[in-house]
């Protein structure tokens, strides 16, 4: 009998998760990973975010692992991760919609220079900073055009922005010009006013947003990072912000999280920081998605967001 064992977010979160699963799938059996009586079984699926290595080492006999994150690098980077167990990333309509709303907020904030308003308000300064550029006159480029990226790009386009995308391999996304592969990266970057990073964190993408990449953007461009902190070489980012190469950045992810209290990004006048909250779907919305995934796997169907080792995400 299929059973879902809940590890994600620690013991205190199990009650909330179980209530969410009871609400959306009353017949699904759930249990707590932290119950001392729990023994992993071959019909069990685990719901995880960032389990300890000791926990991962006990997951080798499970039928599947479903991650509450859209990114799974935190699991793959652990030598104890059982690579023979199918791993599925978080998806679902609410996850994509929340990410799209966050990116729209970030892009509009960069366009209107909302950071300056916040700084001025703090100091009780009334100074008009006129921006007469509209969304229709602003080019946004989304790096990473998978499940989330394609949704974000569509949302930005509906809001009126000129949107293009960049991805590893050629694959069309309706209504969006997509540049594919490393060779196309310079042309893509040269034509964006605001760059949005939604790439997965893999050995190929870590450290990719460095001085050389930022230098290819038009001077004064904006950056939104909703991928992972490790995509960005933070010293290069600071340098680019300080010398005006970049006009501003909105960062939902950093290295480490949180940044140390004295890190210059905390107080940088061109930077808006948010605490890794861009897309945090409700437990019920996630539960609905997880139930769908389990159902697909039980019917030997391939979930759309199944981790593929050859791709690294």
Binding site for ligand GLV (CB under 6 A): 69-71, 90
276 is catalytic: yes
Looking at the Cβ atoms of 69 and 82, the one nearer to ligand GLV is 69
Let me know if 147 is a catalytic residue: no
Nearer to ligand GLV, 70 or 195 (CB): 70
- Identified catalytic residue from 151, 228, 268, 270: 228
CB of 169 to ligand GLV, least distance (A): 21
Closest residue to ligand GLV, based on beta-carbon distance: 69
Based on its alpha-carbon atoms, the radius of gyration of the chain, rounded to whole angstroms, reads 21
55 vs 193: CA distance, rounded Å: 44
Q: Which residues pair with 162 in a beta bridge?
A: 139
Q: Which is nearer to ligand GLV, 175 or 275 (CB)?
A: 275
Closest CA to 146 of 202, 213, 188, 96: 96
CB of 72 to ligand GLV, least distance (A): 7
The Cα–Cα gap between 144 and 313 comes to: 12
What angle separates helix 93-112 from helix 114-122, to the nearest 10 degrees?
70
| Number of Cβ within a 10 Å radius of residue 206 | 17
CB of 100 to ligand GLV, least distance (A): 14
270 or 288: CB nearest ligand GLV? 288
How near is the Cβ of 124 to ligand GLV at its closest, in Å? 36
What tokens were used for 251?
A: 């960062």
DSSP labels, 122-145: HTT----------GGG-EEEEE--
Q: Active-site residues: which are they?
A: 228, 276
């Amino acid at each position: 009998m299929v059973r879902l064992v809940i590890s994600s977010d620690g013991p205190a979160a199990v009650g909330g998760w179980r209530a969410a699963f009871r609400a959306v799938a009353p017949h699904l059996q759930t249990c707590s990973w932290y119950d001392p009586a729990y023994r992993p079984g071959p019909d069990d699926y685990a719901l995880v975010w960032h389990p300890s290595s000791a926990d991962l080492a006990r997951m080798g006999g499970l039928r599947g692992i479903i991650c509450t994150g859209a990114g799974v690098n935190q699991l793959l980077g652990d030598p104890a991760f059982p690579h023979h167990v199918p791993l599925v990333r978080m998806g679902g309509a609410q996850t994509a919609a929340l990410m799209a709303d966050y990116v729209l907020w970030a892009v509009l904030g960069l366009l209107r220079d909302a950071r300056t308003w916040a700084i001025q308000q703090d100091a009780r300064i009334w100074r008009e900073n006129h921006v007469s550029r509209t969304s229709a006159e602003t080019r946004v480029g989304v790096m990473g055009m998978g499940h989330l990226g394609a949704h974000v790009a569509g949302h930005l386009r509906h809001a009126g922005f000129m949107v293009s995308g960049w991805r590893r391999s050629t694959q069309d996304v309706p209504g969006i010009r997509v540049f594919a592969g490393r060779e196309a990266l310079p042309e893509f970057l040269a034509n964006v006013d605001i760059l949005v990073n939604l790439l997965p964190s893999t050995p190929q993408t870590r450290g990719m947003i460095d001085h050389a990449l930022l230098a290819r953007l038009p001077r004064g461009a904006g950056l939104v990072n909703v991928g992972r902190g490790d995509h960005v070489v933070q010293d290069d980012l600071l340098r680019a912000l300080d010398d005006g190469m970049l006009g501003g950045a909105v960062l939902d992810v950093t290295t480490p999280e949180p940044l140390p209290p004295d890190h210059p990004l905390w107080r940088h006048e061109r930077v808006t920081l948010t605490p890794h909250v861009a897309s945090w779907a409700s437990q019920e919305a996630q539960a609905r998605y997880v139930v769908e995934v389990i159902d697909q796997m039980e019917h030997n169907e391939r979930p759309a967001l199944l981790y593929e080792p050859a791709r690294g995400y």
